[in-house]
Amino acid sequence: MDKEKSITVLNSFIIINNARIKRYKKASKDTEKSYLKKVFTNFQITSQRCKTELKKEIIKLGGTPVEDRTHNRSIHNFWFNLKNIFIHKDLNDVLYSCERNETIVMQSYYEAIYNNFGSLSNKQQIMLNDQYLLINVDHDKMKSFQSAF
């Protein structure tokens, strides 16, 4: 097992979870429904737990966990936020966007695990598979909300 490759792979999962947390913070602001705000907060907690676990594993390997890199994309974020000021999002838009993003997260997790199988220890593979399953539960909840409206 190549420790540097493992650290790089595990850091990619931190980036995925950072993006997921950011999306659900935004989704919470985009809805007035208190039950959805709670669900979105719980989804953020799932990703925060995944990040904590990933950081611990990276540190055990002697690496440095990546930080949230949202400040590096400030121009992109500025235009994204400006666009959102002028676009009214109804509940269906918010739910559709969240479900689509969860699908992308699920696909990213699956591909990163599959494509880097040889670079990860058995323990790391189990950890990532467990995280995949946790996020999949959130994804299923999101799909059920979308079909309910």
Per-position DSSP letters for 102-136, written without gaps between them: HHHHHHHHHHHHHHTGGGS-HHHHHHHHHHHHHHH
Domain count, the chain: 1
Distances (CA, A) of 23 to 30, 57, 125, 129: 10, 25, 26, 22
**What's the domain range around 66?**
3-148
- CATH number for the domain including 94? 1.20.1260.10
**133 vs 131: CA distance, rounded Å:** 5
pLDDT in tens, the chain (149 residues): 789 999 999 999 999 999 999 999 999 998 888 999 999 999 999 999 999 999 999 999 999 999 865 544 544 454 445 445 444 467 888 888 888 889 999 999 999 889 998 899 999 999 999 999 999 999 999 888 767 66
